[in-house]
Structure 1
Amino acid sequence: MSEAFEQYERKYCELSANLSKKCTSASLLDGEQKKQKLSEIKSGIDEAESMIRKMDLEARSLQPNVKAVLLAKLREYKSDLNNLKSGIKQITSNSLNAAARDELLESGMADTMTVSADQRSRLMASTEKLNKSSDRIRQGRKAMLETEELGVSLLQDLHQQRQSLLHADDTLHGVDDNLGRSRRIMTNMSRRMNRNKCMIGSIIVVLIVAISLILYFKLSK
């Protein structure tokens, strides 16, 4: 896997975990403290989006088999980021509603006990939603880890198959070299046999001529 992608991934996971905690704490704050916390969260969201874009560019520059695994992980991270954004929108909406409610309270148009109960119920609902989002994020990370393990196992299998093919290719080259040497030896042996046959034939012809001459001289006497 790409080292650059792993660095961006670690940075994003740290940001995501930190933003989840900040969202939970922001839902329990009021006034200026809540505004400051939301500002920090929005800044973290921008940084997380930057990490997502960097991971996307890095993943698309890799080989297809690695690229497919990383893009699958990236989809989970994008889903995680969208959940965080939804949580922030909910908290911001609650903040606006709380501000409007405070204005009505100051003008005497709402009952204090009713508003307090409504605020508590909304805070509880927001906290519950954030907890559910955190659970989904944990499940998504677990699935991504399983996908990563599967991808690593697949790459290891492909590497082993490549080594086996290279070994088979080396073996075939060795067999081809041995066959070439055998052909040369057989050719040399054939040439030697032909030379020996010629020599034996020549000796036989000489012997026949010699025997014929001896018989001729003996019979002529």
Structure 2
Amino acid sequence: MSQVFEGYERQYCEVSANLSRKCTAAAALNGEQKKQKLSEIKAGLDDAEALIRKMDLEARSLQPSVKATLLAKLREYKTDLNNLKTEVKRLTSPNANLAARDDLLESGMADAMMVSADQKGRLLMSTERLNHSTDRIKESRRTMLETEELGVSILQDLHQQRQSLLHAHNNLHGVDENIGKSKKILTAMSRRMSRNKWIIGSIIVALVAAIILILYFKLR
């Protein structure tokens, strides 16, 4: 399911539940207080309609298999919104206060206003949707925590591998230094060998020259 749709759905459920509570409260008010409460309710209805439109656009942009399920849920939300609008119209009618007083007298309730069956149904439906949304949020959070733990484990493994690579790099650097020293030693030994060859060659030449001189004087 689309996470965007779920976000709009959660917002709508919260707005719907809030509107139901405000309708219940408005039924027990009179005068300016009731007008102010109805003004807040109408603003909430505008927000609810905007959320319905957003959910509709999001649902129609998805794959057919997912879109059918979301559009079915959207029809329920539209019905819920229409019920809210009907309730607001009833509250704004001239006989709303009289009807509310008659309901209070018939029910024998001393409280300001008893929640109607439709309002109870909307509240129960909104509460159930909120609970479902909360469960999905908890599930998403659990998945996020598991992913975070997996990410931490991967980072720890990468850190260990990095330490191993650094250790290997240090070892290679030490080997490289040893090779450089060995190369210098071999170069020095090669130079000494070359110098010794020249010295031995010079000695041999000198000995040959001395032998030739000795033989020459002896023959004379």
Q: 2:98 maps to which residue?
A: 107
Using a 3 Å threshold, how does the CA distance of structure 1 residues 171 and 115 change in structure 2: closer, same or farther? closer
- Give the AA of the match of 2:99: G
Q: Distance in 2 between matches of 1:191 and 1:159?
A: 48
Letter in 2 for 1:107: L
- Taking the TM superposition and a 5 Å limit, the aligned residue runs for 1:66-215 are 85-99=11-25, 106-108=97-99, 116-215=116-215
- CA distance change for structure 1 residues 79 and 144 in 2, over 3 Å: closer, same or farther? farther
1:115–1:80 distance in 2 versus 1, CA, 3 Å: closer
TM-score using structure 2 length: 0.54
Deviation of 1:115 after TM superposition, in Å, equals 6.1
For residues 207 and 218 of structure 1, the distance between their equivalents in structure 2, rounded to whole angstroms, comes to 16
Alignment partners' CA distance in 2, 1:83 and 1:132: 11
Distance, in Å, in 2 between the alignment partners of 1:175 and 1:205 is 44
Q: What runs of 5+ residues in structure 1 fail to find an aligned partner?
A: 1-75
Q: Which moved more, 1:105-114 or 1:95-104?
A: 105-114
Q: What is the number of equivalent residue pairs in this alignment?
A: 144
- The 8 Å contact of residues 101 and 115 in structure 1, kept in 2 or not, is answered as no
Q: Label 1:160 to 1:84 Cα distance change in 2 as closer, same or farther (>3 A).
A: same
- Scaled by the length of structure 1, the TM-score of the pair is 0.54
Shift of 1:90: 1.9
Aligned-pair distance for 1:84? 5.6
- Measured after TM superposition, the shift of residue 83 of structure 1 is 6.2
- Give the superposition deviation at 1:127: 2.5
Counterpart of 2:98 in structure 1: which amino acid? S
Which of these two proteins has the greater Rg computed from alpha carbons?
Answer: 2
- Work out the CA distance in 2 between the residues paired with 1:115 and 1:196: 115
**2:19 corresponds to which letter in structure 1?**
S
Change (3 A) 1:79 1:163: farther
SS of the equivalent of 1:130 reads helix
Q: 1:108 is matched by which residue type in structure 2?
A: A
Contact kept in structure 2, 1:94 and 1:122, CA below 8 Å? yes
- Aligned equivalents of 1:82 and 1:142: distance in 2? 21
The one-letter code of the counterpart of 1:120 is K
| 1:12 aligned partner | none
| CA deviation string 1:145-200 (max 9, x = no partner) | 12211221232233233223322322221222112111111111111111211221
CA contact (8 A) 1:87 1:130 kept: yes
Distance (whole Å) between structure 1 residues aligned to residue 115 and residue 169 of structure 2: 80
